[in-house]
A and B are shown apart, each in its own frame.
Chain A
Amino acid sequence: MPRINSPAELEEFRQGILSKRDPNKPCITLCSGSACHATGSGDVADSLEKEIEKQGLSGEVDIRRTGCHGYCERGPIIVTHPEEISYFQIQPEDVPEILSETIKKKKVVERLLYTDPGTKEKIVHESEIPFYKHQERLVFGSNGSIDPKSIDDYLAIDGYSALAKALCGMTDEQVLEEVKKSNLRGRGGGGFPAGRKWEGSRNDPEPIKYVIVNADEGDPGAYMDRSLLEGNPHSILEGLTLGAYAIGSHEGYIYVRQEYPLAVENVLLAIKTAEEYGFLGKNILGSGFDFIVKVHQGAGAFVCGESTALMTALEGRVGEPRPKYTRSNIKGLWEKPTVLNNVETWANVPLIINKGADWFRQYGTEGSKGTKIFSLVGKIVNTGLVEVPMGTPLKDIIYKIGGGIPGGRKFKAVQTGGPSGGCIPEELLDLEVGFDELTKAGSMMGSGGMIVLDEDTCMVDVARYFIEFLTDESCGKCVPCREGLRQMLKILTNITEGKGREGDIELLEELSETAKEGALCALGKSAPNPFLSTLRYFRDEYEAHIKDQTCPALSCRDLISFYIDPAKCKACMICARKCPAKAIDGGKSKIHIVDQDKCTKCGTCFEVCPPRFGAVTKISGEPVPSPIPEEERIIKKRKKNE
């Protein structure tokens, strides 16, 4: 194992790696992030190894298991190099053809390519696919080209060059100034300027200081930090080390949730190899700077993503936020100055040091610089991780990259910022994403969750869902959050069950104020957001539930009934057979009727009724029409010649 003692040695070593790599040698990269792993990339990898041997290609083709490419909807993904042909949704049985056609004969396997849903055209290269074409993948892009378990792969793409540049060519103050100048803001939630946070710690006279990576990503549906840590762990270590150098810290922690086993595995390995190479430990790159990193696995409490709760948990105590008003960059972990930043924030740092603050500032808006990775999920065609410059309109993310709403349904709202974020309605789709822009719209950036909701989603139920999540995850220390959320959840549940009362909205508003103003930590203070933002834009839905016991989205089970339109029913028996409650009466040639007393409102009949009939409908707020007389239920078959 080489120990690298200077920037010159690093450069020499890097050239050594590159010279051993033939850019024209075929290489297959296979996405092996958690999402693709779940869709079978492990089996594809096994099949690749076997098939390479079988087809006599051993030694002639490299396989690289990379981190997440982002297009999780279409995984597992294979890209063949040097031609950069992209294949999607690959199963083990596709492997022989890829090897025999693409690797051996340099021919494209048409059926495995991406098909443009509009033009029906086949697209060969990743960069030309709409999902990727409109992105700017500065931070996330390297995921697709390196094996996270190989430090040499990271070095081959200029890894640790920012560290060499900083440690051996810049003063700690210059590093801080560059980050300050870049106006990099925290990607974890608050959007606080990283440079200013660092400066506070740096200026504190206390000699012992800490740096922490917050990898306790807990927002439902958000996984950008996991994918970065799994797919490019060295970039996080490099960023963290640069931060430590800037503030004068010699000890860092990565707080990662234990539900991320692959991230934990990859980052532990990365630390070990970085120590062996001399990028961590004593006298890094011969600069005289010492820095070590330890990994702490969180036990899965959402509140531990809150910085002071995280630090309390790191100290070995119950993960509850601290009541103190002192900033943790002055008195943080063990009361020492501590800089805590999120995974994505740290991942930006090597880029800023390498390419400069001016380069970084060319991306983004006045108040929000650089790019942001969003986790695009929900009712969207292209689920996945997308990285765009700050200032990209929501519309472009949802339609150009996300491909719009599936099933021809209408867009209703996009929920951003995690559980304590808010919902943004259709009329604000032109909004340019940025920290301040999202806050102004009543939501927030948070860590970058983006859940798309369509017209079938009830906004009251959305608020109830997130408040329920937050109630489960409240640490219970302060009254406004613990008790306030408990009552908010009860009221919201009642509303969705048709038991809402006049005055509920006002009471919810009062409880929201108490939490917003009185709760101890940022999570409690922002907990009412799911209610407040849905009320702001969808007040009519709340009123319909309370006043008319109607769910306009036809979604709340207690407020809807399933009804079969006798004029459309063809008595095909499909719904009657599938109904798990045996609530549908009817037979061959006998119009079906839903027995409302037996119906459990599971919606199966609605889903299985053939679209060309469309006989099953949902009704809310009005009585179900009474069944037609028995004699009219018989459908007379038309004779052939009639």
Chain B
Amino acid sequence: MSEILLQIDGKEVKAKEGMTILEAARSAGISIPTLCHHEKLEPFGGCRLCIVEVEDRGWTKLVVSCVYPAEENLVVRTRSDKVDRIRKMIIELLMAHAPDAFELQDLAKEYGADRDRFEKEASFCIHCGLCVRYCAEVKKKNAVGFVGRGTKKEISFIPEIASKECWDCKECFPLCPTEALQAAYVLTKALFSSRSSS
């Protein structure tokens, strides 16, 4: 595989063809915040927190680094006023749902995000999809999935599968950046056991 040379935050970075900007940056010890990224999973591009500025043939544009491929001579800036402003807004939007999630609180400190900017609608889930994708891509069980669309979208365990598979696995629990997953599982378990016992 051929090697690519690109510039991230003024630093020359070597990357392999097929790598994303995020992978290239992390391999060089440059950190970019993410919420929906997991190295074992296909890029999702959902949280948009890893947004960066790239300069490509004279054009500056914003792209998400977890998907955008590392290209020869690409100039990447992982922080800028605009990037920071967008990250701050994303964190604030998510804190309406999970104000007490530690990961979000740390990010809020870094980007000066206001935890209370938007009215709380605590659903805890921030739709990063880590549990759903991990279960599908790594475990190949599909015991948890998304239901609904848009603002009504939720994660939900499929009771018939979850009752068989989840008890001894629970590998998705530590992936969850909020407590949403555990809550959903407990709920499903409660619903399922009440139904099977009745």
Contact = CB atoms under 8 A, between A and B. Distances in A.
Interface of A: 301, 318, 323-325, 471-480, 482-487, 490, 510-511, 513-514, 517-520
Contacts of B119: 490
10 shortest interchain CB distances as A-B pairs: A323-B45, A483-B93, A476-B153, A474-B150, A476-B150, A514-B89, A518-B48, A323-B67, A486-B151, A517-B62
Given A483-B93, A485-B151, A477 B46 contact: yes
A296 to B, nearest CB: 19
Nearest to B61: A517
Contacts of A472: 150
Nearest to B153: A476
A594 to B, nearest CB: 34
A517 B127 CA distance: 20
B44 A323 contact: yes
A471 B149 CA distance: 10
Interface string B33-55: 00000000001111111010000
A511 B48 contact: no
What bracket does the count of chain B residues touching chain A fall in?
Answer: 35 or more
Contacts of B93: 479-480, 483-484, 487, 514
Contact of A325 (B46, B49, B69, B150): B69
Contacts of A324: 67
Contacts of A487: 93, 96, 118
A519 B67 contact: no
A285 B89 CA distance: 59
B64 interface: yes
Contact of B149 (A475, A484, A519): A475
Given A301-B149, A478-B46, A479-B94, 6 more contacts: A476-B127, A476-B146, A486-B151, A490-B119, A518-B51, A519-B48
A474 to B, nearest CB: 4
A301 B148 CA distance: 12
A323 B89 CA distance: 20
B156 to A, nearest CB: 14
B63 interface: yes
B146 to A, nearest CB: 8
Given A514-B90, A520-B46, A325 B62 contact: no
Interface string B75-104: 000000010011001100110110000000
A352 to B, nearest CB: 32
A473 to B, nearest CB: 7
Given A484-B93, A510-B85, A518-B62, A471 B150 contact: yes
Contact of B48 (A473, A490, A520): A520
Nearest to A491: B118
Contact of B150 (A323, A475, A510): A475
28 contacts: A301-B149, A318-B146, A323-B43, A323-B45, A323-B64, A325-B68, A325-B69, A472-B150, A476-B149, A476-B152, A477-B44, A477-B45, A477-B46, A478-B46, A478-B47, A479-B48, A480-B86, A480-B90, A482-B127, A483-B90, A483-B93, A483-B94, A483-B97, A514-B85, A514-B86, A514-B93, A518-B51, A518-B62
Contacts of B43: 323
Given A323-B45, A473-B150, A480-B48, A513 B96 contact: no
A471 B151 contact: yes
Interface in B136-157: 146, 148-153
B90 A518 contact: yes
A302 to B, nearest CB: 10
Contacts of B153: 476, 482
B90 A479 contact: yes
Given A323-B67, A471-B151, A518 B44 contact: no
A487 B119 CA distance: 9
Contacts of A480: 48, 86, 89-90, 93
A519 B48 CA distance: 7
Contact of B151 (A474, A510, A514, A520): A474
Nearest to A521: B45
A517 B67 contact: no
Nearest to A519: B48
B48 A478 contact: yes
A512 to B, nearest CB: 10
Contacts of A477: 44-46, 127
Given A478-B48, A490-B119, A518 B150 contact: no
B44 to A, nearest CB: 7
Contacts of B63: 325
Contacts of B148: 476
A301 B118 CA distance: 28
Contacts of B68: 325
Q: Which of A475, A479, A482, A511 has the largest number of chain B CB atoms within 10 A?
A: A479
Contacts of B85: 510, 513-514
Given A471-B151, A474-B150, A510-B89, A483 B48 contact: no
Contacts of A473: 150
Contacts of B46: 323, 477-479, 520
